[in-house]
Each structure stands twice: as structure tokens, then as C-alpha cells.
Amino acid sequence: MASEEGAVLDAQQQRQSVEWFKYSKRVVLRSILCREDKGLGLVGERVVVGGWVKSRKEKAEKCPAEAQDETWCEALFSRMPLLRSIARILVGNDGAFVPRPAAGPAKSELVVAYLRINDGSCVANLQIVVDSSMSLLGQVMSIGTSILAKGVVEKIPSPGKYVVQLKVEKILHVGIVDIKKYPLAKTRLTLEFIRAYPHLRPRRTMVASVNRIRNVLSYATHMFFQNNGFLYVHMPIITTTDSRVCSKMFHVTTLFSKSDDMEKLIKTSDDEHINLEVVKAAIREKRNRIDELKRSDSNKEALIDAQRDLQKANELALQLEKQQKSAFVKIGEVDFSNDFFSCPAYLSFSMKLHLESYACALSSVYTFGPIFQADESQSPRHLAEMWMVEAELAFAELEDVMNCVEDLLKFICHSVLENCSDDMTFMSKYKDKNCINRLQSIGSSSFARITYAEAVEVLNQVKDQTFETKVDQGLSEEHESYLADKIYRRPVIIYEHPKEVKPFYVHVKDDGKTASTFDIIAPKAGVLVRGSQKEERIDMISKRIEELGLPQEQYDWYLDLRRHGTVKHSGFSLGFEKMIMFATGLDDIRDTIPFPRTHGSANT
Amino acid sequence: MASEEGAVLDAQQQRQSVEWFKYSKRVVLRSILCREDKGLGLVGERVVVGGWVKSRKEKAEKCPAEAQDETWCEALFSRMPLLRSIARILVGNDGAFVPRPAAGPAKSELVVAYLRINDGSCVANLQIVVDSSMSLLGQVMSIGTSILAKGVVEKIPSPGKYVVQLKVEKILHVGIVDIKKYPLAKTRLTLEFIRAYPHLRPRRTMVASVNRIRNVLSYATHMFFQNNGFLYVHMPIITTTDSRVCSKMFHVTTLFSKSDDMEKLIKTSDDEHINLEVVKAAIREKRNRIDELKRSDSNKEALIDAQRDLQKANELALQLEKQQKSAFVKIGEVDFSNDFFSCPAYLSFSMKLHLESYACALSSVYTFGPIFQADESQSPRHLAEMWMVEAELAFAELEDVMNCVEDLLKFICHSVLENCSDDMTFMSKYKDKNCINRLQSIGSSSFARITYAEAVEVLNQVKDQTFETKVDQGLSEEHESYLADKIYRRPVIIYEHPKEVKPFYVHVKDDGKTASTFDIIAPKAGVLVRGSQKEERIDMISKRIEELGLPQEQYDWYLDLRRHGTVKHSGFSLGFEKMIMFATGLDDIRDTIPFPRTHGSANT
């Protein structure tokens, strides 16, 4: 019993005491503002805090002797809120903050600045109170200024959303803002506007919230897999397996850097080159001939012809000279033997194939890394660089991975609700009022599961909607979104697609027509997950590669997995940015990732 | 009390019961073999297991009636191990396994195969017992074969390293091995040999162990940061910030892929092009002229000249045709306006700069992702694609991050010892007998911390070692390794380097000479971590950029972080593959990563 009492006391002390951040001599705002008591238990404590100014108010206060009155007045207000309302009506402002007079305060007055700062650890801001007795006051007033300050936690006389503030005793560091150049100086700016400043935008509350949600989704993903015995394996970003049939790929090269060493780049041998010297010699001959013709004065037409000839030869020589000044690489026939990897290399647009090789040895594996698509789309659902969660399970069939991914999504959504409640509240208030509901409903019901054929049937019965393409021509993104957004209003698993709409590596069912595949379509995000059972039979998969005209030799290593100890295995890919759209309600995928890369845009 | 008893019972049942893997209809080997009782509690249970054959033994057993004797004999052996030794001497083998007679077993005999299979979940293999009553027996005997089988857990009659085996009742699936083509059919193969088969090598025990250790190190890294309030942010892989001064970078491009759309690639405007049509027209004219000359029969010399002219024009046309078939990109003057991002883009070789922008808003952030170096080194410590852990802390000074990274390393090493003890035992047995000690000693003592100047002094006192370069010319990798391997025999933090050996962004101390930087040198791995306090003063950092002749305009976004609310901030980078070398004792960095990419080599 004694130890139990001790534990209770310890817990109380824990609650009371200031939690200094271990790796910087300050207290993180979250550990003040996100306590259950909103920081009340820390009143009287001396702390150091840091952050960037989010908003400010100034107030000209009377000199200390008179200021007493105001404190008394504030105390009265706080006990009788009605009085404040009356004051507000009479005075015409909120009865607390008097705008600083344009002429500056009288000498006997103390200017007090109420700055709200944020350090990125939570949505909440801490109000810090700085007065003009500190020489730095003029510097700290701009939005975006960084401040490190020491002070005492005190109760806000008239508590509202916040109940404590920091009375600053000493400003330890200021990072001023060049207000003329600071693009985020205004308070109301659209996501679209601040997208142009990816390096500054996490200072905006919504972007910070999205990043905290992204962080929790990432970590929860790892937790889910680790708790279930999966191994995290890092798959290669650079690959020599050309899968351009599936998506446009980026080349990775050092050829452009070898400008000092040009000759090596040129595959064509010297004799294939237009020899400028030959042309120059021809010009000399033509000149001689013209001189000759002039001298002989025999054939005027021949002279004109010859002069025209010379002119053309001169033009050719000029062009050749220009071209030869810089060396050439033949496109479509680039000589990759001098490239870094001695062959064409690409940025991977899926880790799937490589991941399979690890599943065919370690059984249950996952990866979480960037993938790349060089499509020139400007769609709000498209990025050139995205993060992808991919899992592959040996000895697993299609239904196993459907269950797995459904559990994963439930787990990570629950984790966001649990760990990011303030951020989700913020998102639901300022971005998408349904976002919390969406996450909650994921946990409370199973996903709808329908076959592709059933999906077609359901959509064919829709009367009050005209689609851009007909359902019978194959389901498009538009149809799928309609299913999730309008009909089921929750994530839908569509499975067993016609094999033609799926890649070569999927398992084809015994009917020879449908594939063991599924997609998960989610409201707001569209296609969130693609999953499939892989074709484990070497003859079947070789046939598919041939049918589709893929470069067989490039897949030889991949076919080895079927040649040597093949297993049934299945996996899925979760588009991580799509997941963030689903969770936050963001409309544009570029707002889900710190530094978005899209066609024509990568400005850092 | 009742509920407590219930809990004990539950726990016991839990211990006894078979743990089926939720996402495939089988029991993972780890949950049989890595129980405290090594699986004894599961004897009699019917399970399904899967895996790949690691080794096999066959035995011709007498028909069931006689087999009794042998079981009795085995039982005797197991109780009196001396008897087995005697039998071994007399019989000349291990007294248990009799090689299968070349002529095949007699009809009354049952051939029994003892296969050890592994599913990648742990080092341990499960012995499964298959007899010739199963028609598939002939197919399952090769190393590398995959098997999914149902059977009953039974005690091994003469337990050794393992105490249970599986008596197979039904083989559910077999993936055969094409033994002639399977490169890993032999049991003893060097790491170097199997490096040529990255897609198959995780089937080797050591590679699987390294991957399990890598997994635990990865997850522990995330755990450490999450427990300490850091946010995981995904930094871009593709960057337009050219930091080639620090390292050679890869270009990311789509220029090579645009072979269908060649004209766009060419910067020179149309009129600058050699017009093949003009040349062809000239040829026609020349032909006409020759015909004319022939007809007129007036001037033999003129005819010969004209014919020579025609020949040259034909040659030119041929060359032009050849060249125009493929378009050109000018090297050294590549036109990037048609490239995907409309400007040169690179693979990032460090996330540091981008990470700073997030630290300057969210305070404590980390990232964990791939980075790229296009150096042509073939050193066993060099990869073109590596994973890097990077952290950045706002309001933190050099000592703060030194403490942070020391805690991180202790945490992740402890996690490996706790979660990978079998794998570490395996590594210490077959690779590096000191590896467990190394991890243990990390936890038990603080890292040595010496200034760069002190390191020089210590090394200058070394008498019994000659270095390739003199210490006074600056510390090289060789010197640093000597400090960690020979003098301190543990990780050493060397701090305060001369500013000249460090990048432009590090904070320069008041002496104007030394930088607020540190490196951690570890035995076996060399430079494991690089850390620094960043220069927060705009004037100082601009001066450094100018001094080093860097492209100022490319760093403009980075300088914004100093223009607008600058803070003191510090961070570090941990080379993740180096960490694995440190933990496992591997000598070649290519063995630490699933698909190594090095100069001239990326064969998947």
C-alpha cells in the first residue's frame, strides 16, 4: 500500500513539474499547453521557451503604480464576465487591449506586447508578455520572428482558450524578420499561395498540423507492421529494371556532368561525323571555280549557279562549326556504357518487384520509401515523387492481404485520432468538417467488398448521374470515386479485375480472364491501395511477359523467384499521400508532402 | 484474486496455444522455435508451416514394425550420449542417419527425409519429417525448395539444438528448384559470391540475420525520436539545389526518354539547323548540271569538277541523314528547359538543408531516407545509394546534439541486443566475435569526447605506427579509425574542426578559425556520424558562400531561413549502413543493404 501511495504522489509531482526538453535548454510548448490542466499546474514556474511569433497585440499600460488598478480591474472582469461585455459595448473594443496610440506611448506608460508564439510541437500557441523595459521589444513584434525567452508561467487574468501565459523576464535570442521580404507576413494566405514557399510554409498552422498528422501516420504504419512480425526492408531507389510500360520513369545519369570528357560520350565513330574540313575544302574549290568563271567570262548562268552553291556551302560550314563547338549525344541511341552504372538506370516507380524477392526469403516484409513517376500530369492527385507503403507476404493469398491492409488502415486512422486530436480538430474546423467522422467510421465498420463485375452492375443501375465514359468500357477513376463517395460512403474494396487492366505479375484465376487483384477506393482520396496475389507459376508469368512484349531479359532476375522455390505470395501498395488526403481532407496532393515535385516544378 | 488467477491461467494458455499468423494460414516458425520452451509446449498440436529448405538428410527406415527398434535405440542413445559416440566410432557416421543406398531402398523400407526449413522469421530452422509415402518426396529434397506443409509438432527423439520437429501429414504446396541453374545450391558460399545474386541472397542465414538487425535498428531509430517528441518529415529525393561542391551528384532527367519528340530537345532554333532538304536540292541541281555538261560535251574538266562536287554533296547528305535520324542533345550546354522540371535536377546527397527549413518551424525534426553520391569509388565503405538518419533541432547548440546522438546510439544498440540476440550470436560466431561486446560496451560507457586539436596531439604521440599522411596535414579517415580502433577502443567524438574542412553552413566560433562541428568515429565503421551547429547569422553564412564560390542564387531559399526568424539550430547525420557495419562486424558496406548500388553495378 505504501508504495501505491508513493506512486500516486510521484504521479502528482510528475504532473506538476516542468518537463525540460532533454536536447535543448528549453521547455517544449506542447508540455505546457497540452497538459490536462492546460498548464495551470506550472503557474509560478520559471521556464525557457522558444518559438516563432504567430500573432501579436500591443497595449499601452500605465506606469507600474497605476498599473495596479488595471490588474484589479482585470481581476474584476475575470470574475464578472458581464462587466467586460458592458465595458466592450461602452469602449468599443474588447475592453482589454487598447490600440497603441499612433504617436507612441507617453513617457510614463509602459508598452506591453502580447505575442503568441508557436514552436511546432502542437497547434496551441503560448502567449508571452514582453514589455518595453526590454530593449529588444521593437524587434520582436513582427510575425515570423523567432524568440527564445526566459520567464515565469502565470495565469491569464481573463482565461479563454488559453489559461496560462509567460511573463518574460529576459529575451535570450531574437531572430528578426525582414518584413519587406517575408512572404508569409500576412495572416490569411491560401494553401495555394504558400505552396510557392515550401521552405517556409511549415510555419503556417495548417501545414504544421498536416505534418504532425503525417508523422503519426508514418510511425503508426511502422508500428502496425512491427507488431505483426513484418520486417522493414529498404528497397532500391535506383533500378535498372525498365518498367516504363507501367509508368514513365526518370533516368538517373552522370552523363551530363562529364562535359570535360566529351569524346567518350559519342558512340558514333569519327568517320561517321560530318567532317568540317571536307566542307571547307569544297568551299575553297568553289571559290576557285567562281574566280575561274569570272575570269573566263564565258557562262553567266554557270557563275550565278556557282555563287549560289558557294553560299550554301558557306551556310553549311557555319552550321557545322556551331554544332561541333559542343559535342553531341545521340538521343534514342545514347551510349550508356559510359554512364555511372554502365547501363540505363531509372528511379524506381514501385518497390514491388524487389520487395517480392525479399518476401520469397523472409516471408513477411514491408517497405516505406519514395517512388517516382515522370508523368506530365498536373492533376491535384499526382506527384512526381511520392511515398509509398508496400507490403508483401509469402504463403498468403488475396484475402489474407485484403484483411491485412484493412487492419493497417484501421490501426493508423485510430492512431491519428488518438495522437493528433488537436490537429484533427483544427483540420475539421478550417478544411474539411467531415475528416474526423471519416477516420472514426473507418474503425467502426468493415470495408465494403465487391467484385469488379458487381461494381459494374451497381454503377449501371445509377440513373441520376452521367459519367464521362461508359461503365461498360471499364471502370475509371470517376466511377470508382462515385462508388466510395456517393454509394458506399466508406472505403470500398473492388476485387477480381479483368486481367487486361492489371500488370503482368498478377495471378490469373482459373477462368483465364480475371486476376487475383483488388483496389481500395476511399472517399476524398480515390484509389488508396492496390493489391494483388502474384503469379507464382513460371510458365504463366513468362507467357504474360511475352504477350505484353516486355523486355524479358530485364525480368530474368525476377523470374528466378519463380524458378527457384516459388511460393504463393500477395501484397499491396498504399499511396501515402493519398492516405493523408483521406485523413485531412486536403484537396491538393501537393499540400500533403513537405517538398512537392511536379512537372515543371521543383524549386528547392 | 479470482481475476488474478484467471490472468495466470490465460497466460499459461497463451504459452501453450499455437499462434497462427493472422495474415496467412500458417504458423510462423519464430512462434514455434523462439518460445522459451523452444516449442515443447506445442507438442501434439497440428499446424501448417512454410519455408525454404536449408538442409536435408535422408534415412532409409525399416518398415513400421521394425522401426520400433530404432526408436528404442534412439531413446537409449539420447539417454546415454556415450553410447552414440561409441556407435559413431564403430559405424563411422553419426549413428543416426544412414545414407540412402544408391540403388534405392528395398520395398519394405520407408525413405524418410529430414528437411530443415526456414521462413526468415528467425535464425532457427524447423526440422520437418517427410516420408516416401508422400508422392512429392522427390521434389522437396533440393536446397531452396519452398514447402507449405501440415503436420503435427513432435518431440525430437534425441534433442540437441532443437527439441521439436514437425511430422508432416500433408504437403500443401511445393516450389521446386531448378538445381542446375540455382546459384545458391551449395551450402558454403562467400558473401562476395552471393552478392552477385541480390534477389536471392536473403535466403542465406547471414544475410537474413543482417536484414533482421537492420529492421530492428530502423525501428528503434524511429522509436527513439518519437519517444523524444521529434517529428518524422519526408525530405525530397529530387532537388534542384546543386551541391556538387560537396559531392558528385546524379542528374535526374527525362531528356533521354523523349525520343519520339526529338525536336523539342534541340536548343538551336530551326534556321540554325543543317537543312537536309537544301543539300538534296543542291544535289539535284548538280546532277542536272552534270547532265548538261555531258550533253554539251564542252568542258571535260568542268565535268570532272562537277562530278567530284556531286560526290561530296552526296556524302554530306548521307551523313546528315544519319545524324538527323537521331536527335541531339548538346553536352556541356544541355537544354534543360525541356527537361521534366524545366531546370537541372539532381538526386539529393543530403537532406540537411531541407531538414533545416522544417526545424525552423517545427523545432525538433528528423528524417530517414535514401541519399545518393555519384563518386566512382570502389571502397568497401562506399555506396552510390545509402540510407541516412538526419536530425535537426531548433534552439539547440552543439553539445545538445552530441548528447542526443549519443543517446540515440545507445538506445538502438540496446534494442538490437534485446531483440536480435540469436542473430547477434550468429554474427559473432561466423563473422566477428567482438560484435556483441561492441554493442554492450556502447551502453556501459560514455563516448570519448576530444577536440580536433587534442586528437592531433594524441596522434602525434603515437610512435609505433606510421600513417600514410602526416597528422599535421589534417586528420584523415586512417587517423580517425586509429583513434577509435586502437587508442580509445570505443566511439570517439572529435569536435571543433578547423572551419576549412567543413561545409559552408556550419557555425564558425568566435575565434574565426574553428567550427562548431563534431564527428563520431566508431570502431569497425569509421565515421559514423557528422554533426554541427548551423550558422544562424545571415552575414556570416553569405560570406562563406561567397568565399567558397558557391552558386548564391541556388541557396537563396536556404538563406531565407536566416533572413526570417533565424534560430540557433544544430543537427547530425548518421550513416545507417555504417551503423550496420558497426553492429554486425561486416567488412563490406555492400553486404549491409538489400540491393547495393555502386559504380558500374546495379543489376536489378
Share the mean pLDDT of chain A. Answer: 85
B364/A560 touch (CB, cutoff 8 Å), yes or no: no
Better pLDDT: B535 or B332: B535
Q: φ, ψ for residue A176 (rounded to 5)?
A: -75, 170
In this prediction, residue B333 has a pLDDT band, given cuts at 50, 70 and 90, of: low
Task: With beta carbons under 8 A apart, name residues in chain A contacting B394.
Answer: 24, 50, 119, 146
Alpha-carbon span A79 to A84, nearest angstrom: 10
Q: Are strands A364-372 and A231-232 parallel, antiparallel or unpaired?
A: parallel
Q: What is the ipTM of this complex?
A: 0.82
Task: With beta carbons under 8 A apart, name residues in chain A contacting B400.
Answer: 23-25
Alpha-carbon span B262 to B247, nearest angstrom: 32
Q: Are strands A492-495 and A517-522 parallel, antiparallel or unpaired?
A: antiparallel
Rg over CA atoms, chain B: 34
Closest CA to B42 of B123, B156, B141: B156
In this prediction, residue A335 has a pLDDT band, given cuts at 50, 70 and 90, of: confident
**Across-strand partners of B570?**
B393, B533
Q: How far, in whole angstroms, is CA B136 from its chain's centroid?
A: 37
If you write DSSP's letter for every residue of A40-91 in order, what string do you get? GGGTT-EEEEEEEEEEEEEEEEPPHHHHHHHHHHHHHHHH-HHHHHHHHHHH
Q: What is the pTM of this model?
A: 0.82
- Asked whether the predicted pLDDT for residue A302 surpasses 70, the reply is yes
**Across-strand partners of A53?**
A117
Q: Are strands B526-533 and B569-575 parallel, antiparallel or unpaired?
A: antiparallel
Alpha-carbon span B2 to A76, nearest angstrom: 57
pLDDT of residue B413: 97
In this prediction, residue B244 has a pLDDT band, given cuts at 50, 70 and 90, of: low
Average pLDDT over every residue of B13-39:
89
Rg over CA atoms, chain A: 34
Task: With beta carbons under 8 A apart, name residues in chain A contacting B238.
Answer: 250, 372, 384-385, 597, 602
A199/B558 touch (CB, cutoff 8 Å), yes or no: yes
pLDDT of residue B57: 86
Please tell me which of the candidates A258, A272, A401 has its beta carbon nearest to residue B322: A272
B362/A536 touch (CB, cutoff 8 Å), yes or no: no
CA distances from A496 to A329, A480, A519 (A): 46, 14, 9
Task: Find out whether B411 and B578 touch, Cβ atoms under 8 Å.
Answer: no
Q: Give the long-range contacts of residues A365-368, CB within 8 A, separation 24 or more.
A: A365/A230, A365/A231, A365/A232, A365/A233, A365/A391, A365/A392, A366/A225, A366/A230, A366/A231, A366/A232, A366/A233, A366/A390, A366/A391, A366/A392, A367/A232, A367/A233, A367/A234, A367/A235, A367/A391, A368/A218, A368/A221, A368/A222, A368/A232, A368/A576
B251/A250 touch (CB, cutoff 8 Å), yes or no: no
C-alpha cell at A315: 551556310
Q: Is B157 exposed, middle or buried, given 0-12, 13-18 or 19+ CB atoms closer than 10 A?
A: middle
Please tell me which of the candidates A177, A251, A354 has its beta carbon nearest to residue B604: A354
Q: φ, ψ for residue A540 (rounded to 5)?
A: -65, -45
- Asked whether the predicted pLDDT for residue A350 surpasses 70, the reply is yes
CA distances from A504 to A64, B524, B573 (A): 80, 44, 40
Task: With beta carbons under 8 A apart, name residues in chain A contacting B560.
Answer: 197, 199-200
pLDDT of residue A7: 52
Q: Cell numbers 525534426 label which residue?
A: B365
Any idea which of A522-536, B234-248, B419-433 has the lowest mean pLDDT?
A: B234-248
Distance from CA of B183 to the nearest CA of A (A): 10
Closest CA to A315 of A343, A344, A282, A267: A282
Q: φ, ψ for residue A335 (rounded to 5)?
A: -90, 95
In chain B, what's the furthest Cα-to-Cα distance? Answer: 129
Please tell me which of the candidates B254, B262, B361 has its beta carbon nearest to residue A120: B361
Query: CB neighbours (10 Å) of residue A124?
Result: 19
- By CA distance, what is B184's nearest residue in A? A564
Average pLDDT over every residue of B162-174:
95
The terminus-to-terminus CA distance of chain B in angstroms comes to 61
Residue-wise pLDDT tens digits, B66-118: 444 444 445 445 555 555 555 555 544 443 333 333 444 445 567 899 999 99
pLDDT of residue A322: 55
pLDDT of residue B250: 94
- Asked whether the predicted pLDDT for residue B295 surpasses 80, the reply is no
As a whole-number percent, the residues of chain A with pLDDT over 70 amount to: 83
Q: How far, in whole angstroms, is CA A333 from its chain's centroid?
A: 35
Task: With beta carbons under 8 A apart, name residues in chain A contacting B357.
Answer: 198-200, 202, 604
- Asked whether the predicted pLDDT for residue B263 surpasses 90, the reply is no
Q: How far, in whole angstroms, is CA A537 from its chain's centroid?
A: 38
pLDDT of residue B304: 83
Alpha-carbon span A256 to A56, nearest angstrom: 51
Those residues whose C-beta lies under 8 Å from the C-beta of residue A589, and which sit 6 or more positions away, are: A380, A381, A382, A383, A577, A578, A581, A596
B600/A121 touch (CB, cutoff 8 Å), yes or no: no
Alpha-carbon span A408 to A76, nearest angstrom: 54
Count, residues in chain B: 604
Share the mean pLDDT of chain B. Answer: 85
Distance from CA of A61 to the nearest CA of B (A): 27
Any idea which of A162-166, B77-81, B350-354 has the lowest mean pLDDT?
A: B77-81
Residue-wise pLDDT tens digits, A169-223: 999 999 999 888 899 988 789 999 999 999 999 999 999 999 999 999 999 999 9
Average pLDDT over every residue of B395-402:
97
CA distances from B488 to B360, B404, B406 (A): 36, 21, 16
CA distances from B586 to A479, A496, B424, B436, B480 (A): 53, 45, 12, 13, 19
Q: How far, in whole angstroms, is CA A282 from its chain's centroid?
A: 61
Any idea which of A192-196, A438-442, A538-542, B552-556 has the lowest mean pLDDT?
A: B552-556
Those residues whose C-beta lies under 8 Å from the C-beta of residue A524, and which sit 6 or more positions away, are: A432, A438, A485, A581, A582, A585
Q: How many CA atoms does the CB half-sphere of B475 hold within 13 Å? A: 27
Alpha-carbon span A588 to A382, nearest angstrom: 9
Q: φ, ψ for residue A22 (rounded to 5)?
A: -60, -30
Domain A2-182 and domain A205-251+345-591, same fold? Reply is no
Task: Find out whether B305 and A292 touch, Cβ atoms under 8 Å.
Answer: no
Alpha-carbon span A532 to A515, nearest angstrom: 8
Task: With beta carbons under 8 A apart, name residues in chain B contacting A358.
Answer: 202, 211, 594
Every domain of chain A and the residues it spans = 2-182, 205-251+345-591, 255-334
Residue-wise pLDDT tens digits, B456-490: 999 999 888 788 888 888 899 899 999 999 999 99
C-alpha cell at B414: 540496446
Alpha-carbon span A398 to A536, nearest angstrom: 13
Distance from CA of B380 to the nearest CA of A (A): 17
Residue-wise pLDDT tens digits, A21-65: 999 999 999 999 999 999 999 999 999 999 999 998 888 876 554
Task: Find out whether B121 and B134 touch, Cβ atoms under 8 Å.
Answer: no
In this prediction, residue A307 has a pLDDT band, given cuts at 50, 70 and 90, of: confident
- By CA distance, what is A229's nearest residue in B? B121
Please tell me which of the candidates A273, A376, A595 has its beta carbon nearest to residue B235: A595
Residue-wise pLDDT tens digits, A214-268: 999 999 999 999 999 999 999 999 998 876 666 789 999 998 875 444 333 433 3
DSSP letter assigned to residue A469:
S
- Asked whether the predicted pLDDT for residue A119 surpasses 80, the reply is yes
- Crossing angle for the helix pair A300-325 and A276-296, to the nearest 10 degrees: 160
CA distances from B1 to B7, B8, B10, B12, B13 (A): 10, 11, 14, 17, 18
Task: With beta carbons under 8 A apart, name residues in chain B contacting A410.
Answer: none
Task: With beta carbons under 8 A apart, name residues in chain A contacting B562.
Answer: 175
pLDDT of residue B301: 80
**Alpha helices, H only, B181-249:** 191-194, 205-227
In a mutational test of the B interface, the residue from A218, A331, A399 whose CB has the highest number of chain B CBs within 10 Å is A331
Architecture of domain A205-251+345-591: 2-Layer Sandwich (3.30)
CA distances from A25 to B80, B95, B399, B515, B554 (A): 67, 69, 11, 21, 33
Average pLDDT over every residue of B123-140:
87
Work out how many CB contacts closer than 8 A connect A with B. 468
A274/B236 touch (CB, cutoff 8 Å), yes or no: no
Buried b (16+ CB within 10 A) or exposed e, B350-372: bbbbbbbbbbbbbbbbbbbbbbb
Residue-wise pLDDT tens digits, A424-454: 999 999 999 999 999 999 988 889 999 999 9
Alpha-carbon span B53 to B57, nearest angstrom: 11
Amino acid at B7: A
The terminus-to-terminus CA distance of chain A in angstroms comes to 61
pLDDT of residue B323: 54
Any idea which of A3-7, A269-273, B244-248, B249-253 has the lowest mean pLDDT?
A: A269-273
Q: What is the dihedral of CA A164, A167, A172, A175, to 10 degrees?
A: 70
CATH number listed for the domain at residues B2-182: 2.40.50.140
Task: Find out whether B328 and A330 touch, Cβ atoms under 8 Å.
Answer: yes
- Asked whether the predicted pLDDT for residue A507 surpasses 50, the reply is yes
Topology of domain B205-249+349-591, CATH = BirA Bifunctional Protein; domain 2 (3.30.930)
Count, residues in chain A: 604
Alpha-carbon span A358 to A569, nearest angstrom: 11
Residue-wise pLDDT tens digits, B415-465: 999 999 999 999 999 999 999 999 999 988 889 999 999 999 999 998 887
